Amino acid sequence: MRTVAVLGGGIGGLAATYYLCKSPQVTKVIVLESSSRFGGWLWSTRRSDGAVFEHGPRGIRPAGAVGRNTLNMVDDLGLGGEILPVTYSHVASKNRYLYVNKQLHRMPSGISGLLQTVPPFTRPLLLSVAMEILVKKGKENDESIHSFVSRRLGKELADIAVDSLCRGVFAGDCRKLSIRSCFPLLYNAEQRRGSLMLGMLLGSGPSPVVPTGPLAQRSIKESWAQWSLSKGVESIPESITEYLQRSGRVQLHRDAAVKHITPSASGWKIHLEDGVISADHIISALPAKALSSALPSSCQPLIQQLQDISTVTVAVVNLEYEGSILPVTGFGHLLPSSEDRGVLGMVYDSVPFPQHNRPNGQTTRLTVMMGGAWFQEVFGDPEAVTEECLLARATEAVQCHLGVTTAPIWSRLALQRDCIPQYYQGHFQRVGVSVCLSRIHA
């Protein structure tokens, strides 16, 4: 029987521990979290008046193996009754916007949207899609997302839609990000079918088999596009933590930063500020650079590979306004880097999840995301930038993009330092080398 140490108590570390608890081969799991709270980037503020604000992820997609797996876990944790589903027919699913040339443009959707020329695009999107099937397969083993989409669907789509998408998903630069690592489905579709369209229609390879539990079945039947929870997504790590505490097999340690790890005759020794913990196995859910600083010097090649993985910092600004202030209704809008390098996009939180509004009196909740790959260029050193500067930039963006002239009645800034790893071109090779090196040192 084995003792496993899990480094990191964010959602990744907690989820790993949840599954380890179900294994008969594991006697004990020790979770080591450096901060004072578990949950990592899943972080919700619940105000006393009932309003809920998210400082990280806010909506979770139910699709695919990962989506089903998450719903199965949420069901097992007893959170099914707190689900707030957003269906594909909901206005937040149908209406998504781009802010280009100082105007909001609704993204084309449906057959009519694909057939027509819809600003900011200069030709029907269906034309790009139809021509894609004739494009030859790329010969490189990896490519930037911008290069891949330019080659297959045209430069305009890459410059506007995909540039904006990558800023919204990765807070990153599509001219550096890897198609193979960031969008493996698209890469595999071209490699195996010679076309994105054929890959989408015929499939582009096997996917993990995950059973469809009751909640996942409900998501399919009701056509969920995304979902949240009544008290915010931080309910997931909170519920996992409670589950682990009840299991009797898990030790949970907060404020327990890992200084370094060393191999021992029976496994590993984990050195903390105030002691040493022994374990047969280690699972790391730490950011790459944090793990690199904890590894023994004998792992220098692996340390270098981990240090080469970049991350970006995102300023997440939650704003609340009195009354209904949105000129359009939808999920939110994104900006291409050519429009504004500092502001990545806005989410109109009150539209997909009105249940998170305060119950008394109409208000509008928004989240402005800023920085990412452009943080240093626009705002300077994250350690030196002031809260006043970031709040002012966020409210100015709301005024310019949405025409809102009133001041917010409530605001909260969360500066999420190094929160999103950047899978740059060639990342798959770096991961492959890291796996080989970790096996050598195991």
φ, ψ for residue 385 (rounded to 5)?
A: -65, 145
The pLDDT of residue 101 is above 80: yes
Q: Dihedrals φ, ψ of 295, to 5°?
A: -75, 150
Q: What is the pLDDT of residues 262-295, one digit of tens each?
A: 999 889 999 999 999 999 999 999 999 999 999 9
Strand ranges of the sheet holding 103-106, from the earlier edge strand across to the other edge:
103-106, 97-100, 332-334, 343-347, 363-372, 310-322, 410-422
Report residue 440's pLDDT band, with 50, 70 and 90 as the boundaries. Answer: very low
Cα–Cα–Cα angle for 154, 170, 173, nearest 5°? 50
Mean pLDDT of the chain: 94
**Number of residues that make up the chain:** 442
Q: Tokens at residue 231, please?
A: 């008290």
The Cα 75–Cα 216 span in angstroms is 9
How many angstroms separate the first and last alpha carbons of the chain? 19
pTM recorded for the entire structure:
0.94
The pLDDT-based confidence of 437 (bands split at 50, 70, 90) is low
E runs forming strands in 33-146: 44-46, 52-54, 83-87, 97-100, 103-106
The residues, any chain, with a CB within 8 Å of residue 246's CB and separated by 6 or more, are: none
- Report DSSP letters for 361-412, one per residue: S-EEEEEEEEEETTHHHHH--TTT--HHHHHHHHHHHHHHHH---SPPSEEE
**For residues 400-413, b (16+ Cβ closer than 10 Å) or e, as one string?**
ebbebeeebebbbb
pLDDT at position 435 is: 64
Class of residue 194 by CB neighbours under 10 A (exposed 0-12, middle 13-18, buried 19+): middle
For residue 413, what are the β-bridge partners? 317
- For 352, counting Cβ atoms within 10 Å of its Cβ (0-12 exposed, 13-18 middle, 19+ buried), the class is buried
DSSP line for 150-167: HHHH-HHHIIIIIHHHHH
* Tens digit of each residue's pLDDT (9 = 90 or more) over 334-344: 999 999 999 99
How much is the pLDDT for 183?
Answer: 96
CA-to-CA distance for 39 and 338, rounded, in angstroms? 34
Between 130 and 259, the more confident residue is 259
CA 406 – CA 403 distance, rounded (Å): 9
Nearest to 420 by CA among 307, 287, 251: 287
β-bridge mates for residue 5, sequence order: 30, 282
DSSP lists the bridge partners of residue 331 as none
pLDDT of residue 436: 59
* pLDDT exceeds 90 at position 117: no
- What is the tens place of the pLDDT at every residue in 176-204? 999 999 999 999 999 999 999 888 888 76
> What one-letter code names the amino acid at 23?
S
Write out the E strands in 91-181. 97-100, 103-106
**Crossing angle between the packed helical segments 214-221 and 64-76, to the nearest 10 degrees:** 130
Using pLDDT thresholds of 50, 70 and 90, give the confidence band for residue 438: low
Among residues 289, 295, 302, the alpha carbon closest in space to that of 421 is found at 289
Task: Kindly state the tokens that stand for 97.
Answer: 């916007």
Residue scoring higher pLDDT (139 or 176)? 176
- Locate 81 and state its tokens: 């009754």
